[in-house]
Amino acid sequence: MKLILGSASSSRRAMLGAAGVHPDIVPASVDEHTIKEALRSAGATPRDIADQLAETKAVHVSGSHPDALVIGSDSVVMLASGAMLDKPTSLAQAREHLEEMSGTLITLISAAVVAEGGQTAWRHCDVAKLHVRPLSPAFLDHYLDAEWPAISHCVGCFRIETIGIQLFDRIEGDYFTILGMPLIPLLGYLRLRRVIP
């Protein structure tokens, strides 16, 4: 069966590729911001928001590719205060986000949904806890010089696979979840469906 990743995320594509899975790439053209705001207004939890965004992407692409399995995925980052972070829209906002995260515990929730024939066939959410060390102004200058604008596509303003690892004192959770997708459960489902050996 044909497999599609309904995302333009380079990290999700890379982690699948490293695992020997090479889906077609068909980015889902959905208005994530509007969906997220509507869900927030309705009182949805961060976990529900990650799950719904992943499902919306998978189902949207699946509607145009009914004979394929379509993977949708999304991640959200929640501050210790309970506030959710969005992707930064400017260098100044990235710095503000990092200052808010400094010296705190953040929660990252990643969801994956597989759709088939325009319907949800499988879903999984996973949670990681990341302890952000105190971040000095000098470190933030260095970090943003190295990572902007690449982190403009990253909720939480970091790529764990690069210098972003230096933001943290301790991490509790699965590495792939932090990269943006609960990969191991997804691979299990793909084996069950005989998409991969």
Locate the DSSP E strands across the chain. 2-5, 24-25, 68-78, 84-85, 105-116, 119-132, 168-172
User: Do the domain assignments include residue 13?
Assistant: yes
Query: Is 67 among the catalytic positions?
Result: no
What is the Cα–Cα distance from 149 to 132, expressed in whole angstroms? 21
pLDDT tens column, 111-135: 999 999 999 999 999 999 999 999 9
Domain-located, residue 197: no
Q: Which of 74, 126, 141, 169 is catalytic?
A: 74
55-113 pLDDT, tens digit per residue, is 999 999 999 999 999 999 999 999 999 999 999 999 999 999 999 999 999 999 999 99
**In this predicted structure, what is the pLDDT of residue 119?**
97
Q: State which residues form the domain around 68.
A: 2-192
What is the domain-level CATH number for residue 124?
Answer: 3.90.950.10
Q: Kindly state the percentage of the chain with pLDDT values over 90.
A: 98
* pLDDT, tens only, 165-184: 999 999 999 999 999 999 99
Tally of structural domains, the chain: 1
In a domain, 79, yes or no: yes
